[in-house]
Structures are given as C-alpha cells and as structure tokens.
Structure 1
Amino acid sequence: MSSLRDHLAPTDTFARRHQGDSAADRAAMLALLGYASLDALTDDAVPAAIRRGALTLPAAMGESEALAELRDIASDNRVFRSFIGLGYHDTFTPPVIQRNILENPGWYTAYTPYQAEISQGRLEALLNFQTLITELTGLEIANASMLDEGTAAAEAMMMCHRLKEGDAAEHRTFFVSAQCHPQTIDIVKTRAKPLGIDVVVGDHRTFAVDASCFGVLVQYPDTTGSIHDFSAFFTAAHAAGAFTIVAADLLALTLLRAPGEFGADVAVGSAQRFGVPLGFGGPHAGFLATRDAFKRQMPGRLVGVSKDAQGDPAMRLALGTREQHIRRDKATSNICTAQVLLGVMASMYAVYHGPNGLRRIARRVKLLTELLAAGLRVAGAKVNAEPVFDTLTVSGVSAARVHAAAEAKKVNLRRIDEYTVGIALDETATLAEITLLLSFFSESAAAAFDTQLATLNAQLADFSPSFARTSDFLQHAVFNRHHTEHEMLRYIKRLEAKDLSLCHSMISLGSCTMKLNATSEMFPVSWPEFGNLHPFAPATQTRGYQKLFRDLETWLAEITGFAAISLQPNAGSQGEYAGLLVIRAYHESRHEGHRNICLIPTSAHGTNPASAAMCGFKVVPVACDANGNIDLADLRAKAVAHAAELAALMVTYPSTHGVFETGIKEICALVHQHGGQVYMDGANMNAQVGLTSPGHIGADVCHLNLHKTFCIPHGGGGPGMGPIGVAAHLAPFLPGHPVVPTRPGSQSSDLKSQIGAVSAAPYGSASILVISWMYIRMMGPDGLTEATKVAILNANYVARRLESFFPVLYRGNAGLIAHECIVDFRAWKKHGVEVEDAAKRLMDYGYHAPTMSFPVPGTLMIEPTESEAKSELDRFCDAMISIHGEMQAVVSGESDKLNNPLKHAPHTARVVCGAEWNRPYSRETAAFPDRFTRASKFWPSVGRVDNVYGDRNLVCSCVGMEAYAEAK
C-alpha cells in the first residue's frame, strides 16, 4: 500500500522518463531471459569480485526542481561585457540558427556520419564549412572541423613533423612566435615534449630559421592585435626546409590577405566568432587547412564528394585510411570527436550572411577599432604601431585604474601588466561602447568622441594594399542564396530532413552509447549565464561555473572511485591523451622516464594506440583469447619481457567485445607488479556506473565520455567532453592552464608538476557540462545504478531475440553479456552476402546500422542503452530478423545473388518512384518492408555511396559538388 508521502512526491521525476520500460515490459524481458528480477540478472552478469557499494550522491530531483537549483547556481555567474579577446569573441548567433540547429534534436542527436546515405544533410553543411575555410585561408583543402584553435595548432605542428619523417632526427626544432595566444603556445609545448620536439618561442623578426627547424607558427593578427607581413619570414623558412603555419582569425581574413597567398603551408584557427556562443570556452569548431599535396597527412575528418549507385553526387567521409580506426598507432591523429555541430553552425552563419555580409561585419569591426584607437591617442595612450583589425594593446596607462573603472561598469578588459591593457572588439560592439571604453582612460576623450567622430571617414576600414585582400571568396551559390530568414530556415530544414537522428529511431551503435539527451538537460546550454561568459573572465564573475565544476568533480570522483578529476579534455580522444600524459609525467617524477612501453589489447579502439603514439610510447599489442578476453598468458609474458620499460596498459572495461572480464583485477595487479600504470578507456562506462568503478577495479586513470554515458549528445560527431579521473598519486599531474589556474587551491610546488594544457579553454567545452550536471542531479544514485542494470537487461534481451538468427560472439558468466553484443555475419560471406548489405538494408527499415566490423570484421556490435523501450527493441529485432529472411532467400536461390533488396539497399524515393523498375522484388518490398515503415517512412536521400570512387576522385568543396552535379 502506498503512503501519503508517495502520493505527494514530485510528478516530474526523471529516471522513469530516461529509462524506457514499464514494469510489465521489464518483467516480460526478464522472463525471456529466465530471471525473476533485475537484480538477479545483474548479479549473474557482473562478477561479484568487482562489485562496489552504493553510490554516495545527492538524492534525485525532479526536472523542475533540478532546473531551479541550476538556475540558482547560474545566478552566481556575473555576465560582464568582455573585450578580452585571446581568440574568444562575442558574436550574434542568428536566431534561425540557434533555434533550428543548436537547440534542435534533429541536428544534435545525430551520430558521426559514417553511414553516409543517411547523413547527407550534415555532410553538405560540413562541405560548406570546408569551403568556407579553404577560401578564406587561400589553401586547397580543409578538414571538417577540429576541437579548438590550440589543439589545431598542435596538430599542425605534428603534421609538419610527420612530413619530415624521413629525416626527423635532423629536424627537431619548432618555432612559435611569442605573439601567439598563450594557451596555444602551452598546448604546442605539451604536445611537443613527449615527441622530443624542441619548441623555441621568440620573435619572428629576429629568429633565424636553420636546417634543424621543421616548422614555424605565427599568429595573424597576433595576440596583441598587430598585423605583420610574414612574406620574408616564410621565404626564409621555406629556404631552410621548414613548413609555415598561420593561426588566423576567420573574420579578419574577409579583409586581409589570405595566408595561402603569402606562403603559408597550413592555416589553423577557430570558427567561434561565426555565430557560436562563448560558452566559457566551448564547444567551438577549430579548423585546419593545408595544401593539397599534404592531404594524406592531414589530421581530422574530411568530407568528400563521390557518387551513389545511380551515379548521382553523394557525400561521405573521405580518405578514411588516414584515421586511427585503420592506421592505429600510425594514424595522422587520434581525433575521434571533431566539433561537427559547431562547424555546422559556423558554416550556416557564413551561408546566412554571405560574402558581402561577412565583409560588412568585418569592416564595421575594423572601423570601430580605428575609432577607438584614435580616441585613445587623444587620451594620451599608446596603441599598436602596426596595422590592426579588432584588437588594441594600450600602453602607458595605469592598468589598475582602468580595470577598476571598467569593472564598475561591468566590463572586462585583457589584463597584461601594470601599465598595459588589451581591448578586443567584436561584431556586437556599438558606438556607445566605444565612448564607454574611452571613459575608462579619459573622461575628456570620451566627451570629445562625438566631435572627433565627425572628422573621420569610412576609409579607416580599409587596409593598405600590402595587407588588403584582393581575392574573392564564397562565390558559390549556397553562400549567395539564403540571406532571408525564410530561405535560411528552409535550407536548414531541407538538410535536416536528409539525416537520421534519435528523433527517428534507436541508434544502437556499440561503444557509442546513443541514449536519451533529455530536453531538461539541454535547456541550460542556452542560458546567457552559461553561454555568454568569456573563458578568461575573472574568477569573481564565474562562481556559478566554479560551483558546477566542484559538483561534477565530486560526483564523477565518487562514480569512478578516483581521488581527483580534470574537466579540461574536450573530447574522449583528448581524455585518452591527457591520461597517458599524466602517467608519463608520473614516471618522470620518479626518475623512470625511460618507461615507454604501452601494452594495448588487439581489440582496443583505434584511438588507444594513436593516443599512445602521440605520447611518445611504443605500442606492444596483447592478444585476446577465443572468448574476447585479454589473453592472460600473453599479457604476463609481455609484462615480464618489458618490465624495465613498462609504462602502461590500456584496457577497456567491460571489454570491447562486450563482456565483463573476470580477471580484470588480476590484470591490473600484474601491470602494477611490473612497474606500469593501468589506463582504463571509459567508452563502456555505461555498464559500470553504480555497480563497479575503475578505481575499485584497480585502474589508475580513466577518461569518461560525457557524450556517451553522461548524456551530452553526439552532435553529429561532436561536441564531446572527455574528463579524466585519477588515483591520488596521479592527481598532482593533472592538466594546468597558462591563463586561468585550474587548481587554484593547490600549492605552487604542486602546480609545477602539471602536464600543461591539453585544450585551449581551462575547462574544455564548459557550457555543455550543464547537461551532465542535470543528468546526475535528476537521476540520483539509485537512478544511475538502475540505468546501468537496465542497459545490461536491454542488451541481453536483444542478444536473446537475435541469437537464433545471428550467432552472438563472446559471452560472460551464465551466458550473459554486458551492455552490448556482437552478432556474427561472417558465415554469409561465402553466399555473397556482406555485413554491409545488412547495414545498408537497415536504412530501409528506418534504422542506423550498429557499429560495423569492429572489433571483429564481418560483425555488427549492438548497444541498445537503457533509454529504449521494449517496443523499440522489438521493432529493431524484428527488422533484423526480417533481413535474415532476405539473406536466407539469397542462400536458397529464391532471390538473385546480385539483384535483391540487400544489394540494392538503401532504396531512395527517386528509385522507388521512378518510371523504370526492373527488379525481381516489388517496390513495396524495397521501400516498405514492415508495418512501421508503411506508417512512418524515413527516406535515405542517396543510394549506396561508392567510397573507392570518391577517394580516387577527391573533391572536398561545394564548388566541386556543383561542378559534379552539372556534369551529371
């Protein structure tokens, strides 16, 4: 009998919304598996030896109550007007883009576009992004976004180093201009150290490039606002055999000579000021552009144009052989998460404004900067002698007095030294703000500004011929067609309609954990108290964020069983890299820097060996046994053989094969016995929360994919967050930051041991941390634990329903799996049916394929998560079983081996409704293979894409797409 208190409980509790099943459905699923309760199933599935006690976290809150508490936290953030700059600027996010992309689950819940046929919308938007970057930088090819400007610069350095691989021993020096942004310099140093690269920071005007230098990096405009002519410096660098890299401001490039036009080999930067909110540092889309000759060494993802089965233009991710999934420790980078959603926003900003609109915005910013400079000179201050775009360094003033006056008016300026102040303007600046800024330096100069304004003219917005841009950009139709909101809205919606997302159906990708991204979790991302803060705002203005960070660090430490958390890594790949750097720093602190062997199971994610290589480790593979577990004998032999040099073991738990390995504690102890540390990949943390933890198991460090287990959406391939948790002995080595201390309570002696910045902002993509805060706060300890149990239940239910049709590889205790299962298609290959045929056919049923051919070629890895209801699981299983019937028809000869629904999948509306139909199966079988598709149909927009053709005929910009379509 329920009590009065039960009747008075909040009605908007969240766990029941997050988890998909009614009590009756759950009981039916358990009955199929032969269990009377969820706890009984969990006890059999999860080894008793690794079980932990209950989580100690705040009790669950209802949705409205949690939002109210977060509102209180947000109110402790003071949103000042920031003119700090340093690569971060206020911007106007066009409302049509904010509402229809940033706040639209049709865009933010989609997965990385590996299945191109149901990702054409995002791929087109990213093709636009690549075009925007190549045309503004004056280079031939750009990737589809990077994590931020600082990491893009570090990736560019590593790319140039690889290009010198044949004689790398003679080329160990990398020059960085002292006038680059400080966070960029620090990240470059962090990346360079484990690779033995010597970073020289200095003045490009006096640095002599010699044969030992493989690359140089400069900022344009530089961090003080000054614009330099790098032509002579780049000529000298090229003569010495060095590559040239420019960290550029995209908006400035609409007026300034493009880097590719004065000798740059690579251009990097951030697209943040193209309509993406500050967000206290992110998420933002970085970029990297380079020359076509270097495309196979370029890091990150690349969208290219190919053709589909009907010969029509179709986009897909190109040159995948560069990436970590294939090349592993030889990959061009470990980037598994880009910043797709933000790259899409930036590209749409350019589409909305077009080239003329972008020039107008830039000219206005430049003109306001010149007006401010003129007023400051009247006030007796000194400003940049060189040309400027939007940033001034003001010297010869009392900085303390200026900052005090600014703070009184809720304005932030850049703090440089006691006599120097920095001011960076942006597209939101006004004439009234120019007057206000002048008043901080001289009331009389401010009072005279209106009179002075009348004496100036618009030509101040023009650069001198030696700096001015003369080349056109963004002349393609897409950037000149959608300048009214109506047209923009329709364009966004046309692209959205081409992409399958969680709005349509379950996306059951193993190791990717595509669960509910609840609306109540997403709301706060757009609150100005979180979205409008500069990442380098004074700590007195960011107390709300500091409270949020403390909460998350405390909660995640409890969940992981670790002593300390760093929230800085802004992707899972960055978390892997940071965790390994922490291990490396720990060994060095013990005078064991020679430890450089990293043991990695052969089943590991490709990012694991790629991250290890980035940290200067030598990868030694460890075999797996027939059950998918780490081969203990092989591990023991290799740990003994490399005991003197053993640095770490990277292990995923549950295993990449979807099994709770019973020997995991023994594995950790074995590595520790031989002097190594255990790095746990947090990709499968969704099967651990509340039941066990990395710290309890014996790991020393673990990264967490907040965009998986803790509900930050995938955003079409980014944003992501990858914080790391560490045991107490590794806590002193967590990442630092050169601008904002990330551990202000630590002693200075402790701070010296930090590894340096791994992301441009001190807390990574801080604005999306509110999503995970809301998730944990609303679920509470019991809800989080039950979610893990339900994830295990759902996975085992799907495995049981499918096992009669597709063998389920790898099982643990009692024949159970963890939170994902691998189903085997390899036996069908001899009949001419490939696993890809099944993956593409699933699109006709309205589904995104599970993870294909990883970790075992010829298989699908399925992870249903706890958020899917039994009805959706059954619909997916029914689709798989129906596809099995189509496969069986090929084997029996009932269907032709080449002319069947599998080989022709996916079927587009154009094909199904076309005048000709010469196939032995019906149009209805092609397009409406089940009851659900007849009631609600998602149409793939292109037929099966020819990846090989696209790589052999590489086209990576929308101008190529248009030419391709016209030729067709």
Structure 2
Amino acid sequence: MSDFLPRHIGPNREEQMDMLAQVGATTLEDLVAQVVPSTIIGGRRLALPQAQSEVEALAELRGIAQKNQIFKSFIGQGYVGTVTPGVILRNILENPAWYTAYTPYQPEISQGRLEALLNYQTMICDLTGMDIANSSLLDEGTAAAEAMTLAKRQAKSTSNTIIVAGDCHPQTIEVLKQRAEPLGIEVKVGMAHQLMMEGDYFAVLAQYPSTSGQIHDMGRYADFVHAKGALFICAADPLALVLLKAPGEWGADIVIGSSQRFGVPMGYGGPHAAFMAVRDAYKRNMPGRLVGVTIDAQGKPAYRLTLQTREQHIRREKATSNICTAQVLLAVMASMYAVYHGPEGLRRIATRVHGLATRFAAGLKAMGIAPAAGQFFDTVTFKNDAHAAIVTTARNGGMNLRHYAEWAAVGVTFDETHTDADVDAVLFAISAETGIRAPMSIDPAPSAIPDALKRESAMLTHPVFNTHHSETEMLRYLRRLADKDLALDRTMIPLGSCTMKLNATTEMIPVTWPEFGNLHPFAPAEQAKGYAELNKNLEEMLCRITGFDAVTLQPNSGAQGEYAGLLAIRAYHASRNEAHRNVCLIPSSAHGTNPASAQMCGMDVVVTKCDDNGNVDVADLRAAAEKHSSKLAALMITYPSTHGVFEEAIKEICAIVHLHGGQVYMDGANLNAQVGVTYPAELGADVSHMNLHKTFCIPHGGGGPGVGPIGVRAHLAPFLPGRGKVGPVSAAPYGSASILPIPYAYIRMMGADGLREATAVAILNANYIAKKLAPHFPILYTGHGGFVAHECIVDVRPIKDVCGISNMDVAKRLMDYGFHAPTVSFPVAGTLMIEPTESEPKVELDRFIDAMIAIREEIRAVETGVWPKDDNPLVNAPHTTEVLLTETWNHAYTREQAAYPLPGLRQSKYWPPVGRVDDVYGDRNIMCTCPPLESYASA
C-alpha cells in the first residue's frame, strides 16, 4: 500500500468499518456493489503504474522537471519573466489558507479574498482608465473572445464583422477566430486602420503596445470606430500602462489583457489572471465575476460578488458566457504585487524595463540596424538578412529571441528579470552573425514613448497601494485577510458537485519549482522535454482512468472543456457532411454551464425532463431524440447525475442518442464517484471533460485556477482543439501547464487500487452523512436501495413552509458553527447539496452532522414558538463579535446560544468578520473598486 493513501483518505480502517455498519454494508466493495448498478461497474482494474510513495513521486517529478531547459526568455508575445516577491510566494501561492479556499459565493466567510479581488479590480481600473473591471478571466486570448461577444451585444452596429489588427498576439487571434466561427462572426485580420475605413463592423480589436512592440496612437481611430456605431477593444500590457496613457482616456470601450507579469511565473502558459475592464454602461453584460461593496445586517461595509456572478446558472442557454470560474489565486498574487510595490515601485520597474529596451535599440542603431518602430515600451523588433542565424546563435548562448521568419525579423522583449548584461549579450549574438561590431558602451537613450502618449493621470492612489511596502507590513496584511476566510485548512467545505478534497502538500511542491514555472509557452520544443513527458504521461493516465482514446490538456477550466468537447462533436458532424446537426439535448438537472456552452457552439438547446427521483426521464428523452433525429447533434449529461444518483439507464440513454446520429457529452463534474469503479467511455460517452481542480486535486484557489481537459473516443480525436481541424480554446498550447504536476503526483501516489478506494470512501462518506441526517432532514433523491452516490441533497423546503426558515438561513447559521455552507439551491431551489469527499475524517463528518442536527433543534424551537420567526439564531446568523459584545442584548435567545451552540466551539471558534450581507443593497448601489476611507465612516 502507498504511504500516501492513508494520508489522503480521511477515515481509517476501523472508522470505515463502523461507518459501513451504520449505512448497511459489510465492506467498501459491498457498498459499491449496492450503490452502483451492476450494469455500470467496470469489469477490469485500472491499468496504472504501481503506486509511489511521496518521496518517490517527488523524485520522479524532479527528474522530469530537470529535462526542461530554462533559457533567458526575450520572446514576449504576452508572456514575460517576472519576480514573485518572496512574501507573496510563501504567503499566498504556497499558503493553503489561500489556495484551498472555495469561490466566495458565501461572502461572510470570504471577506479576505474578496478584499484582495477588489484590490485587483481597482488596480485594473486605475491602469486602464476604465470605469469597472471584473475579478479576472482565464487568459488573454479567451478574454479577447469574451470582449468580442460583449461588443456584439452592446454595439449599435448590426454588422457581424469584427476587425482585428494583424499585430495583435497571434495566439489571441487564433482563439478569437475559433470563438467567432460557430457564432457566425466574420473576423477580418490585417492593417486595422485601413480595414476600418471599409464597410461595416461592430468592433475593432488592437494591441497596445502591439505584439511586435510598436505603440500606436489609437485615439483618432477610436473616434472613427464610434462614429460607425462600433466599439473599440484594446488588448493592453498592464506594466506598459504604468507609463502609457490609459486606454480609457483615448476612447477604448473595453480593455483586456493578462496580469501575468505582475509577479506570476510564466509556467509554460498558465495559470494567469486575465482582466477585462469596461465603460460603466456595459457592466451588466460583462462576463465573469464582479466583486462589489455592500453593507451587512448592522450597516457595516462588506464585500460580495455582485450582478450576474452566476448568470449562466440562471439564464442557461440565454447566458452571455459559460464562464463559471476565474483565476482568483493568480489575481490575488497580481493585486498583491501592486500592493507591495505601490505606484512608485511599479514606475521604477516599468521605467527600468523601458530603459533596457531603449538601451538595446540604441545599441542596434550604433550597429547600423534600424529598429522597426521608434515608439515602443519593452519590445524592439528589427529586420535583418541574418535573422535565422541570430536567433540560433542567441539560443546557443542560452537566450530565446522571437523569430518572425515570414518578416525576416527578430523580436526582443525585456522584463524585470533582465539586466544590462543581457542587453549586451543579445547585441553580441547579433554581432556574431552580422559581422558588425557591437558597441562597447551605450550612451543613455531617451524615452521611446511619445509625449502625447505618456501617462499623466494618477494611479493606485488608494491607501492600500501606499501602505504595505515593508515585508513586515505586507506579511501582516496577508495574515489579516487570510484570518477572515474559511478555507479547507480550517474546516470541511461540504459543497456538492465541487469536490473540495485534500490538496496534498507533496502535490503542490513542484508547482513552484523554476523548471516548471520559468518556461515560456512558445519556447522551442527541445527545451520543454520535461513538460512533453509530463503531459504525455498524464494524458495516458487520464485515458486509462476514463477509457477514452485521446485526451487534450488545453482547456483551462471546466467551462472551456465543455466548449472544446462540443466543438469536437460539431466538427465531427461537419466532416461527415452533417453540419446541419445542431440540436443539443440537455436534462433539466444539468449544470447551467451546459446549455451556455451549447449556445456558444451555435447549437439549439432542447431541455428534457427528469422524473420524481431526479433521474433523466427516458421516455421524454427518447421522444425528443426521435423528434429531432435528423438534426440531433449531442446529448449533454452529468454522471452520476447532478442530483447525486447513479442512473441505471445511462447506457440505454447513450444508445438512444447514438441511434439517432447524436454524440454523447458526459459532464465530468462528478467523476470523483466514477474513478476506478466505472469508465465514462464504456458507459457510452463519446467525450467528457475532467475537472482536474475537483477529482484530481488541483486546488480551487478561491475560485480558480482550474483545468478541464477532455477525453474523446478515437473518432473524435482529430477534432481536439489546436490539432488543425478545430482551433485553440485557450491561449497557451497546454493551458494551465504549471499546475499539471498536481494531478500527476496524485495519480502516481494513489495508484489503481488507491483511486478506487478513494471513490468508494467518497461514496461511504456521503451515505454516512445522508443516513445520519435522514431522521432530521428529508434527503431529496436516492438511488437503488436508498443509497446516494458521492453527494446528497437535504431538502429544507418543507421546513420553510412551516416556519419560514430557509436553506440560506441554515447556510448562514453553519458559519457560527465554524463550517462553510454546502451548495445552496443547486440543482434544486430551497435545498442544500452536500459532498464530503473521501478526504474528510470521521471526526469532521461527525462534527458537521452534530452541527446540522443542532440546527434542526434550533429550527424546532422556531416551529414550536420558543423563538419568534423574525428573531432567532438562524435568521440573524452569522453572529459577529461586534454584535455579541454590544452593551444591550434584546434577542429572544442568549449570547451563548448565538456564539457557542455546541460545547466544542469554545476550544476552536471561527468568528465571521461581518454579519449577513445585504444583496439587494449591493446590486442597487454598485461599487466595484476600493471605496474611499470616508465611505466606511458614513456607513
């Protein structure tokens, strides 16, 4: 047995036997046989290598990492070297208080990361000169795609054409083209200032500075674009904006980009936090999450997610985006980079980087080589007949330059990791191939930023960016924020369908190794042999776990995985001259991202019914498949179901879809209940995404990063993204590559038997909770034999009908007990969905069960009139120290009942920093940047 297995799985053998007896099973295998239909259980053991110890897994990954060669990168193209301050590296990226937190849907216990995200939004608004910014998107390429669809909705022009400047980053253009094609949007790429004079269009996208480094004065073009009823989208570099005139000041309507260079390693492409900032008029249509300021029940300022934060769950196929995640951990890092350096520190960094570029340009001129542009920030491009040889010579010297073979040109991008010696080294490489002597000394060069485009407006004026500049201050600020939050390092997070399991330290360690972190995603392949081996092995292991024939790791979120899977199905049908197939069947219980993803692929969504037990209504599905047979493209189905049940008819369902020419997309959100027990491909799925940030232990990071690779059967393999027939869905070839060592280590340390045991214990833990809570709360759906799968749904609706106490009241009261709430009102309104995972020990399960039972007794006191319906510990929860320490106490219950409803809380008590937040106030009074200090006083 692996030494890691008992570290990952919570209940020990003795506890498992006790729990099994209570749920009515003799062994884990007996439980699986009772819970999972016999027709579903796979008949073979996972074909995986033998489990490793933690030491062995780290040694293997170290060997793989050492096959990557880390050269000095001058490639640019949206990815540059950066210095992660040690205080941020240790106290955010390597700190489980930050990386194990969940999405801040419960704001009262998420105030720390919400404040950090508000800092991020403020930073982006200040740098871009825009009115409002979201709390991060997946990467720059997909942010551009989201900006395109936002502009299509908002522009006065009815045209279906977008003009894209040819000197945008090439990976952005490719992602944009792929997103546009299913939506019927025409992308015209070329000299933007010429194309915008011809015909109609709804938007123009340009890079500032351009991918080759040139700074264009785009203000006059923005005016022309607006006169055409179109919007101007600007892709911008945040460090350049420290010195450049803000896009909002010269007329941009939407500004997007990546904050990677603010302290986040390149990581072979990700994860990084992209940004989007818009004019105030567009805020209600902006995709992604938005942090806002509101007040709590006592009128105290508080933070919350605002507006359409989960609109894809509400609007479904009418949603404007399928995004349900962000890059929170990376956005927090970027925001703290700005907090730590402050405006003056950022100016010093930007000025120094610009100085390296101007010094290099001066050196070129001294050699008689003219830079392609006289206006630039950090990137200098030049043409030369020896272009290929220069790039090769630099590479032989440990330096990667950008090669524009089609232009006979070379690009050199500087960043904060470079020095004057690096400038000299590149010049000497050029000298070696041109025969022109490099200058021995270079006089200081003037700025290459034109006066008309130099930044004059203030930025980062809020005190938060002007206070924490010593490490002592920064350390304490980060600790104060972390102390406000409930993350997995403190307590069980029993969120159904979100699989908040152990993110083991051994799995996390390789993420910060420089061999994984400091590699450019477009570095030559021979320098990335370690990543090639890691990715190949991981893809193969995921194939064996799912039964699929091929896997792509490119999608950098579950939503991107859904999109990629549907694109593969769409392209497959087109290859068979059946492009007319555009109907997607989706059960009513599905995740809201499913219909949103289908809509993004140009498909028409047809919703099918579920029966009273939460299963797909097979008769209704069959009727829908027959009705739409000639146009049926796909079925999207989650397994086990979103209701937490193994549906016995899954193979029949898949067969019906195939009979009518459709493909089956299996949502992998609940894969944690399948691994080692069954294989999605053998159930009839043609494609499935796998949330590596759920089943395979990549941490949620407060709401991101995520990775959502897809597995496909052989006939769909040619249509995986980036393989020629379908374009990329993410900017980098391997998406969020730097966090792939986490699932790699997890699979290697668990092995075949360990993975199956993890699934079995996840099922055991869920059934143990369901069994213990059933006498107190109705369990909404159960499967064969009265069992649930890996999660259960507690129905609070009958209670609300009797006494008015809602599922939200229970969720907020759990905070007083020191617990994060389960999933609220999904997939069924008025319920709580609980998923304990295999990592929670019995003592924590019992603590949660005790809390829920105690809350039920508190509800009973309301039902019987002991406490009024409008004044009891549930409707007033959570209780802050400020509330409890007031001089007068006028409630029907005691302070002790409010603070210490169970004796064990006296030894370890989490105090919510704010009371229940006012959602309505927050949506009516939208403030999404750091509020001025006087606003706190007025509140």
TM-score range (shorter-chain normalised) is over 0.9
Code of the residue aligned with 2:467 in structure 1: it is R
Shift in alpha-carbon separation, 1:691–1:448, aligned structure 2, 3 A: closer
Residue 902 of structure 1 corresponds to which residue in structure 2?
A: 874
The question of 1:965 aligning with 2:904 is answered no
Equivalent AA in structure 2 for residue 368 of structure 1: L
What is the distance in 1 between the residues matched to 2:309 and 2:716?
35
Which one of 786, 800, 821 corresponds to residue 792 of structure 2?
821
2:376 touches 2:448 (CA, 8 Å); kept in 1?
A: no
Aligned to 1:390: 378
Q: Choose which of 764, 767, 772 in structure 1 pairs with 2:735.
A: 764
1:557 aligns with 2:557: no
Shift of 1:832: 1.3
Q: Which residue of 2 is the match for residue 316 of structure 1?
A: 304
Deviation at 1:782, TM superposition (A): 0.5
Q: How many Å separate the matches in 2 of 1:300 and 1:57?
A: 38
Q: Which residue of 1 aligns with 2:664?
A: 678
Q: Could you tell me how far apart the structure 2 residues matched to 1:921 and 1:209 are?
A: 72
1:180 paired residue number: 168
1:547-590 deviations in whole A, cap 9, x for unaligned?
00011110000111101000000000100011011111111111
- The residue aligned with 2:562 is 576
Contact 2:431 2:438 (C-alpha < 8 Å) held by counterparts: no
Once residues 537 and 782 of structure 1 are traced to their aligned partners in structure 2, the CA distance between those partners, rounded to angstroms, is 38
Of 28, 32, 39, the residue aligned with 1:38 is 28
Alignment of 1:421 with 2:407, yes or no, is no
Q: Relative to structure 1, is the Cα distance of residues 319 and 786 closer, same or farther in structure 2, using a 3 angstrom cutoff? A: same
Matched, 1:475 2:461: yes
Corresponding residue to 2:777 among 791, 794, 806: 806
- Deviation of the 1:447 alpha carbon: 7.3
- For residue 818 of structure 2, give the secondary structure of its aligned residue in structure 1: coil
One-letter amino acid of the structure 1 residue matched with residue 69 of structure 2: R
Query: Could you report, residue by residue, the CA deviation over 1:92-122 in whole angstroms, capped at 9, with x for unpaired residues?
Result: 0000000000000000000000000000000
What is the aligned counterpart of 1:260 among 240, 244, 248?
Answer: 248
Alpha-carbon separation, structure 2, partners of 1:123 and 1:898: 29
Shift of 1:269: 0.2
Q: Counterpart of 2:922 in 1: which secondary structure? A: helix
Match of 1:740 in 2: none
* Equivalent residue number for residue 838 of structure 1: 810
CA contact (8 A) 2:589 2:642 kept: yes
Percent identity for Structure 1 against Structure 2: 61
CA displacement 1:184-214 (0-9 Å, x = unmatched)? 0000000000000011001012113466311
Residue 931 of structure 1 and its aligned partner are, at CA, apart by 2.4
State whether structure 2 residue 420 is matched by structure 1 residue 431: yes
| 1:924 and 2:896 are equivalent in the alignment | yes
| C-alpha distance in structure 2 between counterparts of 1:703 and 1:152, whole Å | 21
The yes-or-no answer on 1:76 pairing with 2:62 is: no
Please say if residues 367 and 438 of structure 2, whose CA atoms lie closer than 8 Å, have aligned partners that are also in contact.
Answer: no
Partner of 1:954: 926
CA distance in 1, matches of 2:299, 2:491: 29
1:784 equivalent to 2:773? Answer: no
SS of alignment partner, residue 697 of structure 2: coil
Amino acid at match of 2:892: P
Residue number in structure 2 paired with 1:452: 442
Provide structure 2 residue ranges, at least 5 long, that are not aligned to the other structure.
none
RMSD over aligned CA atoms reads: 1.4
**What are the within-5 Å matches in structure 2 for residues 157-306 of structure 1?**
157-164=148-155, 170-209=158-197, 212-306=200-294
Which among 100, 111, 131 is matched to residue 120 of structure 1? Answer: 111
Q: How does 1:432-831 map to 2 (within 5 A)?
A: 432-442=421-431, 449-453=439-443, 456=444, 460-461=446-447, 463-736=449-722, 751-753=723-725, 755-830=726-801, 831=803
CA distance in 2, matches of 1:680, 1:598: 13
Equivalent residue letter for 1:568:
Q
CA distance, structure 2, for counterparts of residue 696 and residue 898 of structure 1: 53
Structure 1 pair 81–446 and aligned structure 2 pair: CA distance change class (3 A): farther
Counterpart of 1:146?
A: 137
Relative to the length of structure 1, the TM-score reads 0.95
| Contact 1:439/1:446 (<8 A) preserved | no
Shift of 1:380: 2.5
The 3-state SS of whatever aligns with 1:394 is: strand
Match of 2:58 among 64, 67, 72: 67
Query: Does structure 1 conserve the Cα–Cα contact (< 8 Å) formed by 2:367 and 2:439?
Result: no
Distance 1:611 1:641 in 2: 22
Once structures 1 and 2 are overlaid, which stretch shifts more, 382-391 or 645-654? Answer: 382-391
Equivalent residues of 1:211, 1:241 under 8 A apart: no
Is the 2:586–2:636 Cα contact (8 Å) retained in structure 1?
yes
Which residue of 108, 129, 140 maps to 2:120?
129
Deviation for aligned residue 1:915: 2.0
Distance in 1 (CA, whole Å) between partners of 2:5 and 2:393 is 49
Q: Name the aligned partner's letter for residue 513 of structure 2.
A: W
Contact kept in structure 1, 2:202 and 2:231, CA below 8 Å: yes
Paired residue type of 1:350: A
Q: What amino acid maps onto 1:288 in structure 2?
A: M
Cα distance in 2 between the residues matched to 1:700 and 1:385: 50
Residues 462 and 932 of structure 2 are in contact (CA less than 8 Å); yes or no, is this contact kept in structure 1? Answer: no
What is the number of residues matched between the two proteins?
A: 935
C-alpha distance in structure 2 between counterparts of 1:622 and 1:858, whole Å: 22
- Deviation of residue 828 (structure 1)? 1.3
Indicate if the aligned counterparts of 1:210 and 1:240 stay in contact, CA closer than 8 A.
no
User: What is the CA–CA distance in structure 1 between the aligned matches of 2:124 and 2:415, rounded to whole Å?
Assistant: 20
Report deviation, 1:446: 9.7
Does the alignment pair 1:915 with 2:882? no
Return the offset for 1:463: 2.5
CA–CA separation in structure 2 for the residues paired with 1:206 and 1:833 = 63
1:397-412 residue pairs with structure 2 within 5 A?
Answer: 397-412=385-400
Spell out, residue by residue over 1:140-181, the C-alpha distance to the aligned partner (whole angstroms, 9 max, x if none).
Answer: 0000000000000000001111224xx88x411011111000
Deviation at 1:462, TM superposition (A): 6.4
Q: CA deviation at 1:127?
A: 0.3
For 1:211 and 1:827, the matched residues in 2 are separated by 60
Q: Residues 225 and 392 of structure 1 are in contact (CA less than 8 Å); yes or no, is this contact kept in structure 2?
A: yes
- Looking at structure 2, the residues matched to 416 and 463 of structure 1 have their Cα atoms a distance apart, in angstroms, of 24
Calculate the TM-score normalised by the size of structure 2.
0.98
1:903 is paired with a residue whose SS is coil
8 Å contact kept, 1:376–1:445: no
Q: CA deviation at 1:733?
A: 0.4
How far the C-alpha of 1:73 sits from its partner, in A, is 0.8
Q: Match of 1:848, SS?
A: coil
Contact 1:556 1:565 in 2 (8 A): yes
Cα 1:76–1:189, aligned 2, differ >3 Å: closer, same or farther? same
Q: Distance in 2 between matches of 1:638 and 1:332?
A: 26
Question: For residues 800 and 446 of structure 1, what CA distance do their matches in structure 2 show?
Answer: 81
2:38 matched residue in structure 1: 48
CA distance in 1, matches of 2:860, 2:447: 70
User: What's the offset of the Cα at 1:448?
Assistant: 5.8
Q: What's the offset of the Cα at 1:963?
A: 4.1
**Aligned mates of 1:560, 1:376 — CA distance in 2:** 55
Structure 2 CA distance, aligned partners of 1:705 and 1:851? 17
SS at match of 2:810: helix
| Amino acid in the other structure paired with 2:26 | A
Q: How far apart are 1:752 and its partner, in Å?
A: 3.5
The runs of at least 4 consecutive aligned structure 1 residues that moved more than 6 Å come to 444-447
* Displacement after TM superposition at 1:964 (Å): 2.5
> C-alpha distance in 2, partners of 1:395/1:480?
43
